[in-house]
Amino acid sequence: MAHEVHDVAVKLAREAGELIVTRRAGHIEVASTKSSDVDVVTAVDKESEEFLYTRLRELRPGDGFLGEEGQVEESTTGVTWVVDPIDGTVNFLYNIPHYAVSIAAVTGDPSPVSWQVEAGAVFNPATGELFHAARGEGAFLGERRLQIGPPPPMNLALLATGFAYSTAMRKEQVRILSQLIGEVRDIRRMGTASLDFAAVAAGRVDVYFERTLSPWDHAAGELLVTEAGGIITGIRDLAQGREGIFAGHPTLVTQLKARISEVGGDTLLQDVPGWGLE
């Protein structure tokens, strides 16, 4: 089953990517905002999600759907597609060639706490790079199999992260990073979570940590990491998800998670002063 849904994920990621590239050649502007004024949606986000929803109804009738832009359908087959039609919308808006279509097929309840990710594809239509994985069959960039290598010491590790849309949470994240910046090789904030996970799997960064992600931000990406030999975990003893998520080699994740805790970076979101994204 993993192989079957993998092929669908790859096919539709490419198809949606072609649509996005065509639309990016024209004029792009903000259609609406969501959680805050900087959490933007373009008409192309909505068009891409509607396209994917329609195609999945054709190819996989009965499967569920959970999309960033609000399209939701319960599954009658046990499979749900968790979709970010354009991950990195701000990059897309500014024509920065670092955004992606992220598609994952999960079984069980479509929640990070309980799902099993069967297959996923993360496609950057601006560069043509396709990252994909099926459970138990490895992670790949195109035809090249990905494998996370031996971890560097923390002071030589390249850390990837991202910022929340909440002003209060952004300030908290800067506080944490200000304490880490002298303890790692450097920090990268590239603006597209799915491609951050892909970068971990491909060895382009060593370890990744972010908070306030939604299921569609990491469903496909977390499978890329685990199939490349890394681990995914949450803050404290929580499952990966909105409260926080780490990705990378087990040694680095363990070290970073401990350090984040030492500097108070694992405060629950509800206890962060000024937190009000929801």
Catalytic residue among 87, 196, 222, 243: 87
Catalytic residue among 45, 217, 227, 243: 217
Known active-site residue 37: no
pTM as predicted: 0.93
Q: How far is CA 56 from CA 49, 62, 220, in A?
A: 11, 9, 16
Known active-site residue 217: yes
Q: Average the pLDDT over 69-74 and give the result.
A: 88
Task: Assign domain 2-146 to a CATH class.
Answer: alpha beta
Q: How many residues are present in the chain?
A: 278
The CATH number given to 154-271 is 3.40.190.80
**Range with top average pLDDT, 25-29, 42-46, 102-106:** 102-106
pLDDT of 69 above 90: no
Helix ranges (H only) for the chain are: 2-24, 43-59, 89-93, 167-180, 193-202, 215-227, 250-262
Catalytic residue among 45, 47, 49, 68: 68
Known active-site residue 89: yes
Residue 95 DSSP code:
T
Q: How far is CA 221 from CA 42, 78, 153, 217, 252, in A?
A: 23, 21, 24, 8, 18
Catalytic residue among 86, 103, 148, 235: 86
Catalytic residue among 20, 63, 80, 89: 89
Q: Give CA–CA dist 81/207, Å, rounded.
A: 26
pLDDT of 39 above 60: no
Show me where the domains of the chain are located: 2-146, 154-271
